[in-house]
C-alpha cells in the first residue's frame, strides 16, 4: 500500500508534465524534491525527515500512453479530477484533486516541458484525518527506449 501511495504521489506531481502527444514515448526518469512541508500535529522530526528528500523513479511511457496523455493515465486512479489543465507551447499549469481513504489531496503545478523533459513546481495540500502542506519540484527526462 505504501508503494502504491508513493507511486501515485510521484505520478500526481510529475504526470502533468508528461504531455499529451507532445512527448516522446520511452523510458523516463523523474526526480521529485520536497522543499517545504508543514504537518500540524505530527512530531517535528517527521517533517524534518521529509524536507529536502529526493525521490527518483523510472517508468516507461508507451507510444499509446503518450498519445492518450497524462489525464488518461491518471484515470487509473478514479478518485482524481483535474479542475484545470493547460499544457501548450512549452508551458504547464494544472490543478488536480484526489480523494482517498477519507483524505483529500489538492495539487497545483506549473512549469515547462519539451518532448524529452519537464520541470515543474508543485504545491500540495492534504486535508482529512491528517493535514499537510508541502512544496516540491519535479524534473524529468527521457533516458532512452523502454527497458524490458
- Could you give the CA distance from residue 145 to residue 60 in angstroms, rounded to a whole number? 8
Is the confidence at residue 124, as pLDDT, over 90? yes
Grid coordinates belonging to 125: 495540500
Q: What's the pLDDT tens digit per position in 9-59?
A: 444 444 444 444 478 899 999 999 999 999 998 888 888 889 999 999 999
DSSP state string for 92-128: EEEEEEEEETTEEEEEEEEEEEETTEEEEEEEEEEES
Q: Which CATH architecture has domain 2-144?
A: Beta Barrel (2.40)
Domain boundaries, the chain: 2-144
Amino acid at each position: 500500500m505504501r508503494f502504491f501511495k508513493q507511486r501515485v504521489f510521484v505520478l500526481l506531481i510529475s504526470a502533468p508534465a508528461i504531455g499529451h502527444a507532445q512527448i516522446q514515448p520511452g523510458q523516463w526518469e523523474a526526480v521529485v524534491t520536497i522543499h517545504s512541508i508543514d504537518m500540524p500535529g505530527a512530531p517535528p522530526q517527521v517533517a524534518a525527515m521529509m524536507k529536502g528528500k529526493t525521490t527518483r523513479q523510472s517508468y516507461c511511457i508507451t507510444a499509446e500512453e503518450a498519445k492518450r496523455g497524462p489525464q488518461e493515465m491518471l484515470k487509473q486512479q478514479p478518485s482524481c479530477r483535474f479542475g484545470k489543465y493547460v499544457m501548450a507551447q512549452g508551458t504547464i499549469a494544472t490543478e488536480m484533486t484526489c480523494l482517498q481513504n477519507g483524505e483529500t489531496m489538492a495539487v497545483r503545478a506549473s512549469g515547462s516541458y519539451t518532448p524529452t523533459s519537464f520541470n515543474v513546481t508543485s504545491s500540495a495540500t492534504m486535508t482529512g484525518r491528517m493535514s499537510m502542506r508541502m512544496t516540491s519540484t519535479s524534473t524529468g527526462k527521457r533516458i532512452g527506449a523502454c527497458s524490458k
